[in-house]
Amino acid sequence: MNVYWDLFITFFKMGAVTFGGGYAMLPMLESEIVERRHWASKEEIMDYYAVGQCTPGIIAVNVATFIGYNRKGILGGIVATLGIVAPSLLIITFLAAFIQSFAELTAVQHALNGLRVGVCAIVLVSIGKLAKSGIRNLFGVIVFLAAFLLSLLLDVSVIWLTLGAMIAGVAKQKIGGKQA
């Protein structure tokens, strides 16, 4: 039972102190799961991020589910998922009761604007860390730039970009025999 409590509390803390959605949680997930608790390697967490991005839902919730499942099976996945979403559910429920009464206050609007900027910085740091460990060679640079430009300039869906990158990786492995 202690392992389940550890899973729940670990992900509850991450869910409670990370603002800005799933991508904002990625640096904390890496720090806590890889470096502090050793529940996954850097390569495994990158795989969890990739699969978490490809599956429906919030990436941090998906990653928590994968880690919980990897640690303690289906029940571990459920416990980790509940841990990471519980703070959001509690906070949103509380805010929903009061949001109309203070949303128009200038101080609240400025606080939210500042929070948005801070979250952008956190997401950029996550992108930098992911790029350092995910782009390993020229092929990776080419796939990254192609996906980035297609997304930015042509607004290609993430689904197609992900599928294209997967196909390119498999083709590279079949043709070149090396890891993409």
pLDDT in tens, 24-55: 777 888 889 999 999 999 889 888 888 888 88
Query: Which among 18-32, 50-64, 121-135, 139-153 has the top mean pLDDT?
Result: 139-153
Cα 93 from Cα 83, distance rounded (Å)? 16
Helices (runs of H) and strands (runs of E) counted in the chain: 7, 0
Is pLDDT of 113 > 60? yes
Is pLDDT of 180 > 60? no
Is 161 a domain residue?
no
Is 153 a domain residue?
no
Is pLDDT of 125 > 80? yes
Is 33 a domain residue?
yes
Higher pLDDT: 122 or 178? It is: 122
pTM: 0.64
> What's residue 10's pLDDT?
95
> What's residue 53's pLDDT?
81
**End-to-end Cα distance, the chain:** 40
Is 139 a domain residue?
no
Is 28 a domain residue?
yes
Is 154 a domain residue?
no
> What's residue 21's pLDDT?
66
Is 165 a domain residue?
no
Please count the structural domains in the chain: 1
pLDDT category at 177 given cuts 50, 70, 90 is: low
Residue 130, classed as helix, strand or coil, is helix
Is 135 a domain residue?
no
> What is the rounded average pLDDT for all residues in the chain?
87
Domain containing 71: what range? 2-103
Rg of the Cα atoms in the chain: 19
> What's residue 178's pLDDT?
59
Q: What pLDDT digit, counting tens, does each position of 51-86 carry?
A: 888 888 888 889 999 999 999 999 999 999 999 999
Nearest CA-CA partner of 64 in 89, 43, 81 = 81
